[in-house]
Structure 1
């Protein structure tokens, strides 16, 4: 049985551990439903509000063979956890009337218009359709930690395809692209915003 087949097999008796503040009972219900209705193998969720942990749940299995229970401290790979919050920053600015999702990125970040990107819209960045799914020149990990260098390279770079015509996951560039628009509009990088 493949991992995909294992994941789709309903697991009606997955034991859920942890605690959930009654105010967030809908979170517990949705978590349990993932096991009962969607065949979740193993998972954990934690929610903190104003410094208080209001949800801390885990359950299921840490392996496809279901020999190792998912524990509170089960280690897992976590990918793309910042894309949602950085997108939220942009959408908050849009909701406040400070950012137009249909405006060219260059109207907020003038240097971005270089190399044929003058018509790239903010919504193209948010939807992985800008054609900037990766950097063209070698970029070390140390350089990736340099916000100004990375955003300058992205601004100067030609897109891999005509923006808006195709989608390609912007795994390492999304936070810089959307984040720099957030910074240009608000004066703050997404983490501070």
Structure 2
């Protein structure tokens, strides 16, 4: 397997781990970027862009990153908070009056970000066509009764997170989340990142397909199998219903899915864009910084922890971001970011100045700790320790 790109001195182990993913963990097509203190130190890509292996992955190949999109959506709400347009401690109904019904009066903006809103499921799932209509999705959430008293517990809002965030953005700015990301985040930073893919960029997107790789060795293999798998098998569980808020499950390769604005699930990005975005959260990148230091501290301060009502395992969340923990190991205790189901991962680590972006078209049945991403994180940690 030919690996393309560059690795700065001191980060050679990361390059070795990236190549090893193709031989040992079933990788088919992927890219990795790492920034340190706003400067790119790893920029790698290899494999095939398509499923049958005939179209090679290029440096500019972009990929659906699933829930790694949530970190980008979180930045929108946090930036609006910094600009004085959104109060994190205000009720959602203050900005969205129709939402104040069926026991949701106490849902705060921060509950949307920390997965404590009690709204991970819809009693009547949306069809893909309905889900792609932000007004219809907002109506469904406004009519929904919480699954638990808001603010008292947490559970992963796999899909509803995006509709909740988008409804707030629309009511505060008059623009959809995808449009806001394009003008306020992607354009200033020069990111190949979209939530709502323009038709002109469709040719750059890799095609997702399932892969089965060898089981990882060492600590990852020794860890007990997450019980989320069993919970998902129960059609009546919050786990299954949260991921089935859109029924039937959209085809990740469908152009209509790519063009839709689903801020919880369908962001499309290059690895470099994902890493560069996270780098700009914690420091300047070519003169652009997205969040101030105080907001970064708030974003990575633990807001939810313990057994997750949806993912079953113990999870940790700050404001919109997963935090380092057993369910989603990142670089270290101060790291914050978000994995995407199937493999992708983006995060930042303020203490080391590291920002990380990994994308793949080899879809595995992993929700958080994908073994390929984890092999790269371990190698990166070893480089920094050395």
What pairs up with 1:79-94 in 2 under 5 angstroms? 79-94=66-81
CA contact (8 A) 1:101 1:123 kept: yes
Query: Which residues of structure 1 form unaligned runs of 5+?
Result: 1-14, 48-52, 61-70
Q: Give the stretch that moved more between structures: 153-162 or 78-87.
A: 78-87
Distance in 2 between residues matched to 1:185 and 1:75, nearest whole Å = 30
Q: 1:155 to 1:55 in 2, by over 3 A?
A: farther
Give me the whole-angstrom Cα distance separating, in 2, the residues matched to 1:112 and 1:133.
15
Task: Give 1 or 2 for the bigger CA radius of gyration.
Answer: 1
1:75-101 CA distances to partner (integer Å, 9 max, x unpaired)?
A: 987421321111111000001111111
Distance 1:54 1:188, change over 3 A: farther
TM superposition outliers: structure 1 runs of 4+ over 2 Å: 28-36, 39-47, 53-56, 71-79
Question: Aligned to 1:150, what secondary structure does the other structure show?
Answer: helix
Question: Does residue 117 of the first structure (1) align with residue 104 of the second (2)?
Answer: yes
Are residues 110 and 29 of structure 1, via their aligned partners in 2, closer, same or farther at CA, if it must alter by over 3 Å? farther
Q: Offset of 1:44 from its aligned partner?
A: 2.2
Closer, same or farther: CA 158–76 of 1 in aligned 2, 3 Å: same
State the Cα deviation string for residues 96-134 of structure 1 (Å, max 9, x = none). 111111110011111111111011000000111101102
For 1:109 and 1:188, the matched residues in 2 are separated by 14
- Other-structure match for 2:258: none
Q: Does 1:128 align with 2:110?
A: no
User: Matched residues in 2 for 1:77 and 1:185: separation?
Assistant: 27
8 Å CA contact 2:70–2:162 kept in 1: the answer is yes
Tell me which residue corresponds to 2:215. Answer: none
Query: Which structure 2 residue ranges, 5 or more long, are not aligned?
Result: 35-39, 48-55, 181-386
Asked if 1 retains the 8 angstrom alpha-carbon contact of 2:11 and 2:42, the reply is: no
- Report if aligned partners of 2:32, 2:45 keep a CA contact under 8 Å in 1: yes
1:173 is the counterpart of 2:160:
yes
Q: Provide the rounded CA distance (Å) in 2 between the counterparts of 1:30 and 1:128.
A: 37
Alignment of 1:1-193 (within 5 A): 17-19=4-6, 29=11, 32=14, 35=17, 44-45=31-32, 56-58=43-45, 72=57, 78-193=65-180
CA 1:178–1:35 in 2, change beyond 3 Å: closer, same or farther?
same
Deviation at 1:55, TM superposition (A): 6.8
Equivalent residues, number: 158
Tell me the secondary structure at the aligned position of residue 101 of structure 2. Answer: helix
C-alpha displacement of 1:137: 1.0
Q: Give the aligned partner of residue 355 of structure 2.
A: none
C-alpha contact 2:134 2:166 (8 A) present in aligned 1: no
Contact kept in structure 1, 2:170 and 2:177, CA below 8 Å: yes
CA drift of 1:57 comes to: 1.4
Higher RCO (C-alpha under 8 Å, 6+ residues apart): 2
**What displacement does 1:46 show?**
5.2
Contact 1:16 1:32 in 2 (8 A): no
TM-score between both structures, scaled by the size of structure 1: 0.67
Quote how far apart the aligned CAs of 1:138 are: 3.2
